[in-house]
Structure 1
């Protein structure tokens, strides 16, 4: 997976609905997450607003799409323009912008399983992947559908 996609997916998955865990509820965890990516941690409210806005834009059914206005700066260097990303939110938004420019934003998806909603990057050739994992969420949904079909036949 491309570096930009890895960063965006990691940020989107700082909330884990299956486990009921949110990294942004743990100041030390959020600081480590940011430092591991060599950026400064933002204020938790700012990070949560950015994460929720991005997740909503990708189709997280729990969230409403809200405008997000975060100023981005760039620098013109010998190798061309570069976005300045001093903190986690601007680094993620710069990565999301680069994905959009390359036409890869559509590869970012939210798993439709209600008990999962994990963000993932669809690396399939035709961009048709639906589940974060066919072995886990996809298999569970197929089993539910099969049980529903067989129950309706036997009733």
Structure 2
């Protein structure tokens, strides 16, 4: 997975719906996440607003679509223009912007399983992947559908 996609997906997944954990609720875990991604941690409340807005934009059904207006800065260097990303939020938004410019924003998706809602980057050729994992969520959904069809036939 591309570095930009990895950062955006990791940021979107700082909340785990299945386990009910939100990394932003624990300042130490948030600092560690930021350190692991070579960025500075923002105020958790600010990070949560941005994360929820991005999750809504890529399809989290629990969250209302919102407009997010955040100024980004850039520098003109010898190798050309580059977005400046001094903290986790700016780095994630810069990565999301690069994904959009490259046409890869549509590959960011939220698993439709109600008990999952994990963010993932669809690397399939035709961008048709639905589930975060076919072995887990996709398989569960196929089993549910099969049971429902079988029950309908036998009733």
- TM, length-normalised to structure 1: 0.99
Structure 1 unaligned segments of length 5 or more: list them.
Answer: none
| Residue 25 of structure 1 pairs with residue 21 of structure 2 | no
| Distance across 1 between alignment mates of 2:58 and 2:148 | 28
**2:146 is equivalent to residue 146 of structure 1:** yes
Aligned partner of residue 30 in structure 1, secondary structure: helix
| Cα displacement (A) at 1:70 | 1.4
Deviations 1:33-81 (A, max 9, x none): 1111111101111100000000000110000011112111000000000
Total equivalences in the alignment? 155
Counterpart Cα distance in 1 of 2:117 and 2:97: 22
Matches of 2:36 and 2:147 in 1, distance apart? 44
Partner of 1:77: 77
Greater alpha carbon shift after TM alignment, 112-121 vs 35-44: 35-44
Partner of 2:109: 109
Give the secondary structure class of the aligned counterpart of 2:60. coil
Question: Aligned equivalents of 1:71 and 1:147: distance in 2?
Answer: 50
Task: Tell me what 1:125 maps to.
Answer: 125
Name stretches of at least 5 consecutive residues in structure 2 with no aligned partner: none
TM-score by length of 2: 0.99
Distance 1:72 1:136 in 2: 38
